[in-house]
Amino acid sequence: MWPFLFKRLLHLIPLLLGVSLLTFLLMALSPGDYYTALSQNPQISPETLAHLKARFHLGEPWYVQYFYWLKNILHGDFGYSMAYKIPASSLIFERLGNTFLLSFSALILAWGVAIPLGIWAAVKKDSWADRACSLVAFVGLSVPDVLLSLLALWFAAATGWFPVGGAQSPIYDLLSPAQQFWDRAHHLLLPALVLAAADMAGIMRQTRSNLLDTLRAEYVTAARARGLGEGWVIYRHALRNAINPLLTIFGYSLAALLSGAFIVENIMAWPGLGRLTLEAFFAKDSYLVVDSVVLATALLVAGNFIADLLLAWSDPRIRLK
Amino acid sequence: MPLLEIKNLKMDFGAGAAALRAVDGVSLTIGAGETVCLVGESGCGKSVTALSVAQLVPSPPAHYVGGEILLNGRDTIKMSRAELQQIRGGVVSYVFQDPGASLNPVFRIGSQIMESLKLHRPEKAQDAEVIRLLKLVGIPAPESRLRNYPFEMSGGMQQRVMIAMALASEPRLLVADEPTTALDVTIQAQILDLLRELKQRLGMAILLITHNLGIVGDMADRVAVMYAGQIVELAPARELLLRPLHPYTRALIQSVPKLAGGARRLSAIPGNVPRIGHFPPGCRFAPRCPIARPACAEKIPELIEVEPGRWVRCPFGS
């Protein structure tokens, strides 16, 4: 197990290097940069410009900037946000918290609803319940995140039942802890639902088809032939095997939620990492962009890694290799 | 009262106009401690008949349209789900063709055997009993095997585990559905030896499903030959092998390769097994039969007892 873990971590290094290098390159190739914008602003004194240039290596070729960035990262310094005038790390970690909150709420919602529904649909195959689930899943899979986000926004605005955008009320700091909790949940519900919707449909269909496959397996007939009850046969023998392919999907799902959160965050004005990245990109806030992209990549890899670990834990045949 | 008495069993796949008759009037009895072989080509209904004993064919699509399956005098077709769970693994245990697929891949073999013990003999549900069972089926160093997963064992060992699991409840009848088909020839002989030995030691009856006539002579007291959903010949094993009466049985025996047979060409049976739902009218073997007469295509011949204990579904066979 440990050599496997170590190997995966080693793989991460060239991957992150490549991603950060590409991001720097793309930022450099896109027209305009933060330094040029500043230098053309008559309100900024030449002294300030010179100071900024010396401190952050502005105006230098991108590869030089890249190596300074890399050196700083290795010393635990994530660079400085030009637009916000504060260290990038404090910005990123605050936004990362929001993205995690949104993604994991959506994850729990999606899996918590999809798995029981998928099991139900498989056990009651071809019943009205199965058909209804299929129909809802079909709709869920067909409607893109973007449209669903807009619909949710319209719904929030039209009914006034939910806040339009944001993660907390302006008066958040004045509320009691219980009120703060409800305020957060109130803001979270719609974005989390939108983010969970598409995933839910996919996971439900997958659960259903996996369980139908394992219910046809010979070991299920053999378990019935030993006199085991139908509930035991389904939930222990069949479901235990149907889980394995789902764990792989779980890894992708982790990764997809983070990138899916990007769209939902931007449309529904959720102050998360995705929105920060986009804003930083428009502001040419290069360190912030690279930091966020590298972090998102690391999270994606971590998602797949967690899925691998879960799969090894669940399936003894994989443990051996 | 025989242990198992199948009376004129008729089973369809599907219902109404789309119904396909898979088992058509099969009657078979097995006495306590007896070994009966059910022989036939794939798709002749032998496995479905065997699975029907404990109602293991999913329904739908299966529909029992006639007959009875009396196990210890009680009809399993009419049993409730709770009663069926009692007899499954209790009175009748099953061993299937592919042990690799019949053992659940994600559970240790010890816990799978324990599951059967807890269900049918809870007072004996201890590791010691699991070890005793593994020893009984000839698994070396059973103590260290308890915590093995199925994929860590060879096919022969897996089949021994399946048999141990079947024996956990001390069944009166063991149904073995092609238990050696998926195994190497040398392992096949070991598993058959084991079954024969266990039968003598434990006094249980065996219903052995096979398409391999070589096994029949070794194992069976009596043999039923099935063709297209019907029994065409039923006889004591020795007599059937030495003097087959039905032309299909004869053809089957002639198509078995013999080691001492020299370079003789094997006689294959011409034509194909008719598919379910496309059975010919009259005798179902008539289109492939070397001695068929025009009359054969008109009416299905009756299964007639031509000598004591010898039943044949062909008026011209003897």
Contact A316 B103 (CB under 8 A): no
For chain B, domain boundaries? 4-91+171-312
* Predicted complex ipTM: 0.84
Q: Give chain B positions within 8 Å (CB) of A238.
A: none
Mean pLDDT of B20-39: 89
Contact A219 B151 (CB under 8 A): no
A254 or A18, which is more confident? A18
In sequence order, the β-bridge partners of residue B36 are B207, B222
Contact B96 A222 (CB under 8 A): yes
Given a cut of 80, is residue B133 above it in pLDDT?
yes
Contact A219 B93 (CB under 8 A): no
Question: What's the confidence (pLDDT) of residue A180?
Answer: 83
Contact B81 A230 (CB under 8 A): yes
Given a cut of 60, is residue A321 above it in pLDDT?
no
Q: How far away is chain B from the Cα of A226, in angstroms, using its nearest Cα?
A: 4
Question: What's the confidence (pLDDT) of residue A320?
Answer: 52
Q: Give chain B positions within 8 Å (CB) of A217.
A: 101
Q: How many CB pairs under 8 A join A and B?
A: 73
Mean pLDDT of B228-249: 90
Mean pLDDT of B230-252: 90
Q: State the number of CA atoms in the 13 A half-sphere of B205 facing the CB.
A: 21
- The verdict on pTM exceeding 0.95 is no
Which residue, chain included where needed, has tokens 């360190």?
Answer: A287
Q: How far away is chain B from the Cα of A230, in angstroms, using its nearest Cα?
A: 9
Q: What six digits make up the tokens of A7?
A: 């190997």
Is A227 in the B-facing interface, judged by CB distances under 8 Å?
Answer: yes
Contact A226 B104 (CB under 8 A): no
pLDDT digit string, tens, across residues B137-172: 888 888 888 888 999 888 888 988 998 888 888 888
**CATH code for the domain defined by B4-91+171-312:** 3.40.50.300
% residues pLDDT > 90 (chain A): 4
A272 pLDDT band (50/70/90 cuts)? confident
Q: Give chain B positions within 8 Å (CB) of A224.
A: 56, 88
Residue B24's region, left for phi above 0, alpha for psi from -120 to 50, else beta, is beta
Helix, strand or coil, per DSSP, at residue B35: strand
Sequence-ordered alpha helix ranges (H) in chain B: 46-52, 81-87, 99-102, 109-120, 127-136, 142-145, 155-167, 185-202, 213-219, 237-242, 247-254
Substitution target in B53, B86, B106 with the highest count of A β-carbons within 10 Å is: B106
Q: Give chain A positions within 8 Å (CB) of B87.
A: 227
For the residues of B213-271, what is the DSSP string, one character each? HHHHHHH-SEEEEEETTEEEEEEEHHHHHHS--SHHHHHHHHTS--GGGTTPPP-PPSS
A249 touches A210 (CB < 8 A): no
d(CA A296, CA A110): 21
d(CA B249, CA A208): 46
Contact A240 B93 (CB under 8 A): no
Given a cut of 80, is residue B261 above it in pLDDT?
no
Mean pLDDT of B229-235: 91
Which residue, chain included where needed, has tokens 């590298």?
Answer: A294
Q: How far away is chain A from the Cα of B99, in angstroms, using its nearest Cα?
A: 9
Chain B: residue whose CA lies nearest to A225: B88
Q: What six digits make up the tokens of A236?
A: 């222990």
d(CA B226, CA A147): 62
d(CA A258, CA A260): 5
Question: What's the confidence (pLDDT) of residue B185?
Answer: 82
